[in-house]
Amino acid sequence: MKNFNWTCAYCNQPTTITEPNFSNGYELVKTSRSEMRYVAVEHTAIACPNPDCKKLSLSISLRKYGSTSMRAKTILSKHETWQLLPHSLAKPQPDYIPEAIREDYQEACAILKLSPKASATLSRRCLQGMVRDFWNIPKGRRGNLGAELNFIKDEIDSDTFDSITVIRETGDIGAHMEKDVNFVVDVEPDEAELLIELIEMLFANWYIAKQKRIDRNKKVREQSAKKLAEKKQAKSASNQSGNDEPAT
């Protein structure tokens, strides 16, 4: 096995995976009487090398192959893959992001595969929660997301605004039944996944960047206060020693 770069979904730590932390293999399904005929179950497991994490990531795939005289080389297409561990691909988010917002995000990740439409709806709700909380939309101005976004339009760059519009519009598809119920607009899994990535980007650009700024400013203030105190102390010490000098 070749080493490969990987980011742990539990601790979010980018790392390189080498042999002892990786396991992959398959087992033949012993009946060929289903409509799928010849299939094998493949497992892929990675143990996180971060000593503070060590969590197991595990997925199972169903692979098809040609006939009973199967050798390793004849394993064919991957039919379907299930991510078993972690249960969801939600990345850990810091506590200073309000819990309700983190919950919507985690649920959007958890439901992604089963229902991209529901996931997109949750991402949209998560976005609305963020817009209201982070940008302090006054109670009187809260209503539909479109109006709330217009309220903050001048505060954010056009790139971010375009991304937000994508989340809103795809989420709307998930949330509202079209007038004609037979006219179904589906949300594709990769669209719903993109929305989750956009939500993660907004977490990073809004909450995490703001917190970093607060921490940095606090550190600068503390350091300059410390310097000032040291200077004062040095000055009073030199005054003291000045007073101690014998009068001539």
Mask for 8-47, x = binds Zn ion (CB under 5 A): x-xx------------------------------------
Tokens 């976005």, located at residue = 127
Q: What is the 3-state secondary structure (H, E, C) of 161-220?
A: HHHHHHHHHHHHHHHCCCCCCCCCCCCCHHHHHHHHHHHHHHHHHHHHHHHHHHHHHHHH
Residues in Cβ contact with 190 at an 8 Å cutoff, skipping those fewer than 6 apart: none
Q: Which of residues 99-158 bind Zn ion (CB under 5 A)?
A: none
Q: To the nearest whole angstrom, how small is the minimum distance from the Cβ of residue 85 to Zn ion?
A: 12
Binding residue for Zn ion, selected from 28, 29, 47, 53, defined by CB under 5 A: 53
Q: How many residues bind Zn ion (CB under 5 A)?
A: 6
Using only C-alpha atoms, the chain has a radius of gyration, in whole angstroms, of 28
Sole window of 5-13, 17-25, 30-38, 180-188 interacting with Zn ion (rule: CB under 5 A)? 5-13
Stretch that binds Zn ion, among 1-9, 163-171, 206-214, 238-246 (CB under 5 A): 1-9
Report residue 27 as tokens.
């087992």
Judged by CB, which is closer to Zn ion: 7, or 239?
7
48 touches Zn ion by CB under 5 A: yes
Cβ atoms of 120 and 187 closer than 8 Å:
yes
Which position among 23, 44, 50, 83 is part of the footprint of Zn ion (CB under 5 A)?
50
Q: At what angle do helices 145-152 and 116-134 cross, to 10 degrees?
A: 40
Binding stretches for Zn ion (CB under 5 A):
8, 10-11, 48, 50, 53
